[in-house]
A and B are shown apart, each in its own frame.
Chain A
Amino acid sequence: AQTVTQSQPEMSVQEAETVTLSCTYDTSESDYYLFWYKQPPSRQMILVIRQEAYKQQNATENRFSVNFQKAAKSFSLKISDSQLGDAAMYFCAYRRYNNNDMRFGAGTRLTVKP
């Protein structure tokens, strides 16, 4: 099975600063999708951003952007202008192009300091 690795169990950032969360994955596929999910203390998991592997351009959603390095199998999430509401667990996930199940990393707990 494909594996997804998040090497940072915990991160912290000062409010209004920028933070980068790391994710690497292992796959022999050339086409796939990558996702970052956020799980706040309320527990509801929500999608932050997605990246299609066949797209060279890095995805961006407002203050959230990714650095997708396909050859290195790396998919980091950058949060700019961090807000208190960004505090949550963040999970990186992988899905094969022609398969519907998803694999998740162990998660990174982000703390935002006022």
Chain B
Amino acid sequence: DVKVTQSSRYLVKRTGEKVFLECVQDMDHENMFWYRQDPGLGLRLIYFSYDVKMKEKGDIPEGYSVSREKKERFSLILESASTNQTSMYLCASSRTGTAGNTEAFFGQGTRLTVV
């Protein structure tokens, strides 16, 4: 089974702190994603990466950056955390290509609270 693991289920950080959210997948997937989930807004794509050191902005990249130094690991960085970044963060991975079985597999989510 594909496993996508996020380093923390719950995090509490202070305003202005630099925050790292880590995600690791074990299925050699090319693509990795960071989504933010808020009630009534669904999942919004922050960034995704289709290869090591490659990244593309999603719909809401402001205030975030990402790092992918190894294929299995994708980090989301909040350079200076703010209270409006309090949310659920979901990491996902998928195989690349046009085959039908390229759905995303998700981690268990990290609930981040910025105080």
Contacts and interface: CB of A to CB of B under 8 A. Distances in A.
Interface string B23-60: 00000001101010000111111001010000010110
Given A43-B109, A105-B42, A33 B48 contact: no
Given A44-B106, A50-B103, A97-B98, A104 B35 contact: yes
Interface residues of A, number: 28
A100 B31 contact: yes
A105 B98 CA distance: 22
Interface footprint category on B: 20 to 34
Interface of A: 1, 4, 6, 9, 33, 35, 37, 42-47, 50, 52, 91, 93, 95, 97-98, 100-107
Interface of B: 30-31, 33, 35, 40-45, 48, 50, 56, 58-59, 88, 90, 92, 94, 96, 98, 100, 102-106, 108-109
